[in-house]
Amino acid sequence: MVLFNLYDDWLKTILFITAFSRLILILRALHVNTERTKVILKPDKTTITEAHHIWPTLSDEGWIKVEVQLKDLILADYGKKNNVNVAIITQSEIRDIILGMEFQHFGTASTNC
């Protein structure tokens, strides 16, 4: 029997909440754009995934870069679908978007005053 841990070895170097947030980012990005997310997670053949792991083996700095790219991917998709300038989205709205919550953003370009 093979047992997989969705967090791989992350909990050895980061807190549980950080690992959970990383997992949510990955899953949301996979939902938004599967192919682009795969490229972000494994940009070249030198990026390896250890045996019995699900995600690539990256340094903490490598994961930070990946997390930023995944967040940007999710926000770009949201901005395109909702005609929203992602530069004006607040941190709490970013959190809600990443978690998949639906809400009306009042800063849309299509809002008529």
Blockwise average pLDDT, block size 10, the chain, 113 residues: 80 94 97 97 93 92 97 96 92 92 59 41
Contact 25, 67 (CB under 8 A): yes
In this predicted structure, what is the pLDDT of residue 104? 65
Residue 44 resides in a domain:
yes
- Could you tell me the CATH number of the domain that includes residue 71? 1.20.80.40
Residue 16 resides in a domain:
yes
Distances (CA, A) of 48 to 1, 12, 54: 23, 18, 11
Domain count within the chain = 1
Closest CA to 78 of 56, 46, 100, 52: 100
In this predicted structure, what is the pLDDT of residue 1? 58
Q: Which domain holds residue 52?
A: 10-98
Residue 66 resides in a domain:
yes
Based on its alpha-carbon atoms, the radius of gyration of the chain, rounded to whole angstroms, reads 16
Within 10 angstroms of residue 29's Cβ, the number of other Cβ atoms is: 25
pTM over 0.95: no
Residue 3 resides in a domain:
no
CA 67, 55, 19: angle at the middle one, nearest 5? 55
